[in-house]
Amino acid sequence: MTLDDAVVARHTVKAFEPGHTLPQDKIETLLNVLQNSPSSVNSQPWHFVVAATAQGREAMAKSTTGAFVYNEPKVLNASHVIALCIRSDIDDKHLQNILAQEQKDGRFVAEGAQAGQDKSRRSYVDMHRYEQRDLPQWMEKQVYLALGGLLLGAAMLGIDATPMEGFDQRALDLSLGLREKGLTSVVLVSLGVRSDKDFNAALPKSRLPRDEIFTFI
Ligand SMILES: Cc1cc2nc3c(=O)[nH]c(=O)nc-3n(C[C@H](O)[C@H](O)[C@H](O)COP(=O)(O)O)c2cc1C
């Protein structure tokens, strides 16, 4: 699948065929995409909960009731459902954890590189915490980058996917025990095999024309 083919072929799947389990090697590739997703100052302010069993999907589906019930079958009938979460804070423990990982991975070659990286990262975190006061939104932006990678990656692998903001975040946080872990959910992605009822597959893509969305200077 070429990149051009993948971006046109991918669409939001509206119905999955139950009973299909995606090959584990493809899931591993998508986990690799998520793990290697870029983030501002390498802050990696995320966690990904992967439901690969009926029990896991049912736990996720506790958040697709009421106004969000239209998304329930997309959760229950998928092969895998991934909840992309942000941390409730970028605390000192997390900052030290990232720095230690960078050290372990051999990122600090030059003298003073480690201290410089730590200082720079902390200055960005402080700016978002105290001046812009948008730390959760800043973390969400990083998670949405990971979402983009995941959707494109799935398309390249020929995997059907549905991104979903249509779920009750509080219900999901409670169902998965996220808040006790210092996390909160942002967006869900179902992955699987689309069914004949996926009406979106037959519809043409609709995007604003290039002359409206690009300016070349
Ligand atoms: C962040 C995000 C959240 C979305 N939430 C839902 C959702 O809850 N349920 C749904 O059926 N589609 C959802 N969509 C799908 C969009 O409606 C869809 O991407 C858009 O209409 C473009 O169509 P396409 O993805 O088929 O190209 C979401 C898409 C994104 C990117």
CATH of the domain at 47: 3.40.109.10
Q: Which residues sit opposite 185 in a β-bridge?
A: 85
Is 107 domain-assigned? no
Is 165 a pocket residue for ligand 1 (Cβ < 6 Å)?
Answer: yes
Q: Which of 14, 58, 140, 181 is catalytic?
A: 14
Q: How far is the CA of 181 from the centre of ligand 1 (A)?
A: 28
Residue 165 is a catalytic residue: yes
Measured distance CA(193)–CA(201) in Å, rounded: 12
Q: Indicate which atom in ligand 1 lies nearest the CA of residue 187.
A: 1
Please give the residue range of the domain that contains residue 182: 3-89+143-203
| C-alpha distances in Å from residue 55, one per residue of 28, 175, 195 | 20, 12, 21
pLDDT digit string (tens) for the chain, length 217 residues: 899 999 999 999 999 999 999 999 999 999 999 999 999 999 999 999 999 999 999 999 999 999 999 999 999 999 999 999 999 999 999 999 999 999 999 999 999 999 999 999 999 999 999 999 999 999 999 999 999 999 999 999 999 999 999 999 999 999 999 999 999 999 999 999 999 999 999 999 999 999 999 999 9
Q: Residue 81: name the closest of 139, 159, 184 by CA.
A: 159
Q: Which residue's C-alpha comes closest to atom 26 of ligand 1?
A: 11
Measured distance CA(30)–CA(214) in Å, rounded: 30
Cα four-point dihedral sign 87, 92, 93, 94 = positive
Is 187 domain-assigned? yes
Q: What is the pTM of this model?
A: 0.98
Token pair of 61 as six digits: 């589906």
Residue 74 is a catalytic residue: yes
Q: How many structural domains comprise the chain?
A: 1
